Chain A
Amino acid sequence: MFFYYLDLAWRSIKKTPFLSLLMVLAISIGIGITITTLNVYQLMSENPAGDRSDNLIAVQLWSQDKDAWKEFNAQLTYQDAYNLRKSDVPTRQTAMFVTGLAVQTEDPDFVPLLESVRVTDSDFFNMFSVPFIYGKAWDKSVDTEAVYQVVINEALNQQLFAGEDSIGKTLYLDSKPYQIVGVTKTWSPSPLYYDITTGAFKDSAQIFVPFSLAPIEEFQSWGNNQSWKRQSINSYSERLSSEMHWIQYWVEVQDDTQRDEYAQWLKRYVEQQQLLGRFDSPEAAAKLSNVEQWLEINEVVPEDNKILVGLSGLFLLVCLVNMLGLLLAKFLKRAPEVGVRRAIGASRAQIFFQHMVEVGLIGFGGGLLGLLWAWGSLSMLSAHFDLEDALTQLDLTMWVLAPTIAIAAALIAGVYPAWRICSTNPSVHLKSQ
Chain B
Amino acid sequence: MLSMKNISKVFQTDLVETHALRDFNLEVQEGEFVAVTGPSGSGKTTFLNIAGLLEGFTHGDYFLDGVNISNLNDNKSATIRNEKIGFIFQGFNLIPDLNLAENVEVPLRYRGFNAAERKRRVQHALEQVGLAARMKHLPSQLSGGQQQRVAIARALAGEPRFLLADEPTGNLDSMMARQVMELLENINKAGTTIIMVTHDAELARRAQRNIQIVDGQVCDFTMYQGGARQQGMGTKADKPHLVTDADKPSDESEQAQTEQAAS
Please report A residues at the B interface, Cβ cutoff 8 Å. Answer: 1, 4, 11, 15, 336-337, 339-350, 425-427, 430-431, 433
User: Contact: B78 with A433, CB < 8 Å?
Assistant: no
Residue of B nearest to A339 (CB): B93
19 A-B contact pairs sorted by A residue (CB < 8 Å)? A1-B109, A15-B97, A336-B93, A340-B93, A340-B94, A340-B95, A341-B106, A341-B110, A343-B54, A343-B87, A344-B86, A345-B158, A346-B78, A346-B82, A347-B78, A426-B54, A427-B45, A430-B54, A433-B89
Number of interface residues of B (CB under 8 A): 31
Q: Which of B93, B97, B155 contacts A430 (CB 8 A)?
A: B93
User: Contact: B89 with A430, CB < 8 Å?
Assistant: yes
User: Contact: A11 with B52, CB < 8 Å?
Assistant: no
User: Contact: B107 with A345, CB < 8 Å?
Assistant: yes
A348 to B79, CA, bound (A): 11
User: Contact: A431 with B54, CB < 8 Å?
Assistant: no
Max chain A C-beta neighbours (<10 A), residue from B55, B95, B158? B95
Tell me if B209 counts as interface (CB < 8 A to partner A): no
A433 to B89, CA, bound (A): 9
User: Contact: B79 with A343, CB < 8 Å?
Assistant: no
User: Contact: B97 with A11, CB < 8 Å?
Assistant: yes
Residue of A nearest to B45 (CB): A431
Q: Which residues of A contact B257 (CB under 8 A)?
A: none
Tell me if B74 counts as interface (CB < 8 A to partner A): yes
Q: Which residues of A contact B179 (CB under 8 A)?
A: none
A425 to B107, CA, bound (A): 18
Max chain B C-beta neighbours (<10 A), residue from A15, A349, A433? A433
Q: Which residues of B contact A343 (CB under 8 A)?
A: 52, 54, 81, 87, 93
Please report B residues at the A interface, Cβ cutoff 8 Å. Answer: 45, 49, 52, 54-55, 74-75, 77-79, 81-83, 86-87, 89-91, 93-95, 97, 106-107, 109-111, 154-155, 158, 166
Interface class of chain B by DSSP: helix
Q: How far is the CB of B189 from chain A (nearest CB, A)?
A: 23
Closest A-B pairs by Cβ, 10 of them: A345-B82, A347-B78, A345-B110, A427-B49, A344-B107, A427-B54, A433-B91, A340-B93, A345-B107, A343-B87
Q: How far is the CB of B107 from chain A (nearest CB, A)?
A: 4
Q: Which residues of B contact A345 (CB under 8 A)?
A: 78-79, 81-83, 107, 110-111, 158
Q: Which of B54, B87, B110 contacts A350 (CB 8 A)?
A: B110
Q: Which residues of B contact A4 (CB under 8 A)?
A: 109
Q: Which of B75, B97, B110 contacts A344 (CB 8 A)?
A: B110
Residue of B nearest to A4 (CB): B109
Q: How far is the CB of A12 from chain B (nearest CB, A)?
A: 8
User: Contact: B87 with A344, CB < 8 Å?
Assistant: yes
Q: A430-B89, A430-B93, A433-B93 are in contact. Are A342 and B55 (CB under 8 A)?
A: no
Q: A11-B97, A346-B82, A347-B77 given. 6 additional CB < 8 A pairs? A: A342-B78, A342-B81, A343-B52, A344-B82, A344-B87, A346-B78
Q: How far is the CB of B168 from chain A (nearest CB, A)?
A: 13
A433 to B93, CA, bound (A): 7
A376 to B180, CA, bound (A): 61
Q: How far is the CB of B48 from chain A (nearest CB, A)?
A: 9
Q: How far is the CB of B201 from chain A (nearest CB, A)?
A: 21
Q: Which residues of A contact B83 (CB under 8 A)?
A: 345
Q: Which residues of A contact B78 (CB under 8 A)?
A: 342, 345-348, 350
User: Contact: A431 with B166, CB < 8 Å?
Assistant: yes
Q: Which residues of B contact A431 (CB under 8 A)?
A: 45, 89-91, 166
Q: A15-B97, A427-B49, A433-B89 are in contact. Are A346 and B54 (CB under 8 A)?
A: no
Q: Which residues of A contact B77 (CB under 8 A)?
A: 347
A2 to B158, CA, bound (A): 21
Q: How far is the CB of A338 from chain B (nearest CB, A)?
A: 10
Q: How far is the CB of B151 from chain A (nearest CB, A)?
A: 9
Q: Which residues of A contact B74 (CB under 8 A)?
A: 347-349
Q: Which residues of B contact A340 (CB under 8 A)?
A: 93-95, 106
A380 to B246, CA, bound (A): 88
Q: Which residues of A contact B49 (CB under 8 A)?
A: 427
Q: Which residues of B contact A433 (CB under 8 A)?
A: 89, 91, 93
User: Contact: A427 with B109, CB < 8 Å?
Assistant: no
Q: Which residues of A contact B109 (CB under 8 A)?
A: 1, 4
Residue of B nearest to A349 (CB): B75
Q: A347-B75, A349-B75, A350-B110 are in contact. Are A427 and B55 (CB under 8 A)?
A: yes
Q: How far is the CB of A330 from chain B (nearest CB, A)?
A: 14
Q: How far is the CB of B236 from chain A (nearest CB, A)?
A: 32
A343 to B154, CA, bound (A): 12
Residue of B nearest to A343 (CB): B87
Q: A4-B109, A340-B95, A430-B89 are in contact. Are A425 and B55 (CB under 8 A)?
A: yes
